[in-house]
Amino acid sequence: MVAASTLQRTRVSIRGIVQGVGFRPFVCRLAREIGLSGSVRNCTAGVVVEVEGPDDAIGELIDRLRGEAPPLARIDAMELDHLPPRGDRAFSVTESTVEPGACALVAADVAMCDACRADVLDPWNHRYRYPFTTCTNCGPRYSIIRDIPYDRGTTTMAPFAMCAQCAAEYRDAADRRFHAETIACPACGPEVMLATADGTAARGHYALTETRRRLSAGELVAVRGLGGFHLACDATSDEAVQRLRARKRRGDKPFAVMVRDETIAAREALLSDLERRLLAGREHPIVIVSRAGGAISRSVAPQNDTIGLMLPYTPLHLLLFEEGIEALVMTSGNLSDEPIAISNEDALERLRGIADAFLLHDRDIHNRIDDSVVRVIDGRPRPIRRARAFAPHPIDLGAPAPPLLACGAELKSTVCLTRERSAFVSQHIGDLGTYETMACFEETVERLKKLFRITPQFVAHDLHPAYLSTRYAKESGLPAVGVQHHHAHIASCMAENGVQGPVIGVAMDGTGLGLDGRIWGGEFFAGDLARFERIAHLRYVPLAGGDAAVRQPWRCAISYWRDAAADGRPLELPVAAAQRRIVETMLDRRINVIDTSSCGRLFDAVASILGLRHEANFEAQAAIALEGVADRGAEGAYPFDIDDRGEPWTIDLRPAIRALAGERDAAMAAGKFHHTLASVIAEVCASIRRRQGIDRVCLSGGVFQNKLLTERAAARLRELRFQVVLHSIVPCNDGGISLGQAVIAAERVRRGEA
């Protein structure tokens, strides 16, 4: 005899990324298919499902919730409660509910899906050429959300009342736009409009046609996109690109390029399969790839063998590429160093004099968010800038942390807030130091606090007293925890990889204040989140000029050369004798001289000594040139010494500097120099393992954005049977510092040390 299934009612409370990802429609379809009655709704904590039916059917639903969840969803936890049956007859989506203090995860923005792309390109479709076409699987999320739970009313779509057709799709469980909060169409949704300096205005299709005409004619157009404005121009026109460079006062810094499709991408760059998949994946980041021939102007990235490419990620972008346009520069809509403009008024004001025309729209951007940048290094995508489509997804800390705010560093600023097991690292904010970026920093902190219902009890900061983020932390009135910069780098790498320690931490970096008051940046640590010991570092070199040396690698060259060249051989540099004498006098008399173990400055010095780059008009330009020119087939390394008589040990690269200067072939020398650093890393780690028995190595710090160095160092370490831990969630550069500060501060709080 078969036991009859009994009627049950069960409440399933689901936490994770379950709002704005088509989760309620998915649950609704599933429950109806299985024949269960009840309801599903968003709440402040996530999604609540109540189902009524035979217990085996409820069991099936619960299994399939996990197994068949929509691709963008992530279920972190499911809780079940048994309730008395109420006799519901159907299954429906009901009104969202608000519980004080609860917190739902917010979905990141998602690139246009294939189905929406097809709708936009189909002349028979209601949304043909409609720039704001989205569905439950794609479209803006974080950039438009004002609060949780995620409903149309809490987003900047609130002012747009659905037309009858959109409303019907919204209610139809069989439709891809069932409960899509961003649903819109030409009849009811946002609209584009073109404004020009000469007063021409156009709307809808006319605005897009006129925009394309102007871009083809070489004009610069400010385009309001998903997370902010871009400045766009025809990337195949040298003249247009140079005009943009001049008006934006941008020096040689590379521009990102959006290409029409994968065919154009393959023509412009040498793409691996992984790079192709990244370009077309759901995040659509800027991918840094190797240039091929192609038609894109060299001025996009002068003297650079790489280029940042992306594909159109909204229908609006897609529509810019009709009628023969193949590649557009899409650079942040700002003046150098300012946050990108997000409102129409702000763009018209700040970009006046740069843009010839403005493609505006009326769907407001609430959270400013730049394009993300990734580069494939050591076989996996590594974030260089973490923003659109990645933020604000939380990072699982593995254990609960007290609520705290970590303020990050100074350049490539991000902040991090913690709540229970989650760390919320903000999107890239930019370089602090202007009033505008600092205002953006403060706004980001306030918004994340509100969105995730976090009231920080502690604040973590860098040790550098002059960083604006440090000052902000100290003025917050909260108990403050100072964290050494390179310890934070290593901790960020540990945290995102779920590594507890102990580890050997190799931090190769530009600048960070050390515990001894000197500028560190070539560091070998052993330890964990609570403690670290500085086992070894690049030998201190007296550097003349501090910040000026960052912009003028020739100053580094003179400093490293004088330090290394015991025989007093002169170094040939294209620098006026008077300027050179000033630097030499500074070094002789130790005026404005700092001692540094920075690996970034070492790269600058070597690039200049090899005659590759003597001035830098953007960060790390000389180091990028050195990597770019390096002969991949070069063999052998330059000599160096590891002095382990004292503590910490010092790594003496003077023999390498002396050998470098005699080289005629800069490409070969650059290749050998990369080998040399990889050897330094491998040998020092091997020595540390002999003393401490640690065989796990975390590589972090901005220098590891260098693909050649990272891959060589990782390969050497693996040959020695080390486990190599690299970044893949937050950047190895200072964009990851806030996460590292957060986990170190949490550990100190746990131990009662803060």
Taking the least distance from each CB to Zn ion, the nearer of 185 and 651 is: 185
Residue 734 interacting entry, from Fe ion, Zn ion, none, C-beta within 5 to 8 Å by type? Fe ion
CB of 115 to Zn ion, least distance (A): 5
DSSP symbol at 390: T
Taking the least distance from each CB to Fe ion, the nearer of 116 and 620 is: 620
Stretch that binds Fe ion, among 24-32, 139-147, 543-551, 730-738 (CB under 5 A): 730-738
User: Is residue 619 involved in binding Fe ion (CB under 5 A)?
Assistant: no
Residue 187 interacting entry, from Zn ion, Fe ion, none, C-beta within 5 to 8 Å by type? Zn ion
Taking the least distance from each CB to Fe ion, the nearer of 225 and 512 is: 512
In the bound complex, which residue of the shown chain has the CB atom lying closest to Fe ion?
509
Distance CA 528, CA 743 (A): 11
Handedness of CA 225, 227, 232, 236 (dihedral sign): negative
Angstrom CA distances, 571 to 577, 603, 668, stand at: 12, 17, 19
User: Is residue 157 involved in binding Zn ion (CB under 5 A)?
Assistant: no
User: Is residue 50 involved in binding Fe ion (CB under 5 A)?
Assistant: no
3-state secondary structure of 651: strand
Distance CA 659, CA 564 (A): 10
Stretch that binds Zn ion, among 21-29, 108-116, 150-158, 377-385 (CB under 5 A): 108-116
Residue whose structure tokens are 């192609």: 294
Handedness of CA 357, 361, 362, 365 (dihedral sign): negative
User: By CB under 5 A, what part of segment 511-530 binds Fe ion?
Assistant: 512
Taking the least distance from each CB to Zn ion, the nearer of 185 and 264 is: 185
User: Is residue 109 involved in binding Fe ion (CB under 5 A)?
Assistant: no
CB of 462 to Zn ion, least distance (A): 41
Chain CA centroid to CA 128, Å: 33
Stretch that binds Zn ion, among 54-62, 156-164, 342-350, 682-690 (CB under 5 A): 156-164
Residue 185 interacting entry, from Fe ion, Zn ion, none, C-beta within 5 to 8 Å by type? Zn ion
- Beta strands of 391-434 (E only): which ranges? 395-401, 404-406, 416-425
Which of 734, 618, 731, 672 shows the shortest CA–CA distance to 304?
618
Stretch that binds Fe ion, among 329-337, 389-397, 508-516, 597-605 (CB under 5 A): 508-516
Taking the least distance from each CB to Fe ion, the nearer of 45 and 616 is: 616
Are the beta carbons of 44 and 82 closer than 8 angstroms? no
Among 27, 45, 104, 166, binds Zn ion (CB under 5 A): 166
User: Is residue 151 involved in binding Fe ion (CB under 5 A)?
Assistant: no
- Return all residues near 189 (Cβ < 8 A) that are at least 6 apart: 130, 132, 160, 166, 183, 363
CB of 167 to Zn ion, least distance (A): 8
* Two tokens, residue 277: 């998949």
* Two tokens, residue 397: 């800390």
Among 734, 736, 739, 741, binds Fe ion (CB under 5 A): 734
Among 163, 274, 280, 720, binds Zn ion (CB under 5 A): 163
Distance CA 22, CA 134 (A): 12
User: Is residue 113 involved in binding Zn ion (CB under 5 A)?
Assistant: yes
Distance CA 387, CA 313 (A): 14
User: By CB under 5 A, what part of segment 123-142 binds Zn ion?
Assistant: 135, 137-138
Residue whose structure tokens are 């385009």: 223
Distance CA 553, CA 675 (A): 21
Chain CA centroid to CA 183, Å: 28
Residue 493 interacting entry, from Fe ion, Zn ion, none, C-beta within 5 to 8 Å by type? none
User: Is residue 625 involved in binding Zn ion (CB under 5 A)?
Assistant: no
Distance CA 117, CA 113 (A): 6
Distance CA 412, CA 462 (A): 14
User: Is residue 509 involved in binding Fe ion (CB under 5 A)?
Assistant: yes
- Which element (helix H / strand E) includes 481? strand 480-483
User: Is residue 268 involved in binding Fe ion (CB under 5 A)?
Assistant: no
**Angle separating helix axes 654-661 and 666-692, nearest 10 degrees:** 170
* Two tokens, residue 344: 């129409």
CB of 46 to Zn ion, least distance (A): 23
User: Is residue 72 involved in binding Zn ion (CB under 5 A)?
Assistant: no
SS (H, E, C) 613-636: CCCCCCCCHHHHHHHHHCCCCCCC
User: Is residue 280 involved in binding Zn ion (CB under 5 A)?
Assistant: no
Residue 113 interacting entry, from Zn ion, Fe ion, none, C-beta within 5 to 8 Å by type? Zn ion
User: Is residue 188 involved in binding Zn ion (CB under 5 A)?
Assistant: yes
Residue whose structure tokens are 């560091």: 523
CB of 548 to Fe ion, least distance (A): 19
Taking the least distance from each CB to Zn ion, the nearer of 125 and 290 is: 125
Count of H-run helices and E-run strands, the chain? 22, 31
Number of residues that bind Zn ion (CB under 5 A): 10
User: Is residue 187 involved in binding Zn ion (CB under 5 A)?
Assistant: yes
Residue 188 interacting entry, from Zn ion, Fe ion, none, C-beta within 5 to 8 Å by type? Zn ion
> How is the beta sheet containing 458-462 ordered, strand by strand?
395-401, 416-425, 404-406, 458-462, 480-483
Among 43, 106, 116, 309, binds Zn ion (CB under 5 A): 116
b vs e for 10-24, b when ≥16 Cβ sit within 10 Å of the residue's Cβ? bebbbbbbbbbbbbb
User: Is residue 121 involved in binding Zn ion (CB under 5 A)?
Assistant: no
Residue 509 interacting entry, from Zn ion, Fe ion, none, C-beta within 5 to 8 Å by type? Fe ion
- Return all residues near 157 (Cβ < 8 A) that are at least 6 apart: 144, 181, 182, 184, 190, 363
CB of 486 to Fe ion, least distance (A): 7
Taking the least distance from each CB to Fe ion, the nearer of 233 and 373 is: 373
CB of 510 to Fe ion, least distance (A): 6
Return residues touching Fe ion (CB under 5 A): 509, 512, 734
Contacting positions for Zn ion (CB under 5 A):
113, 116, 135, 137-138, 163, 166, 185, 187-188
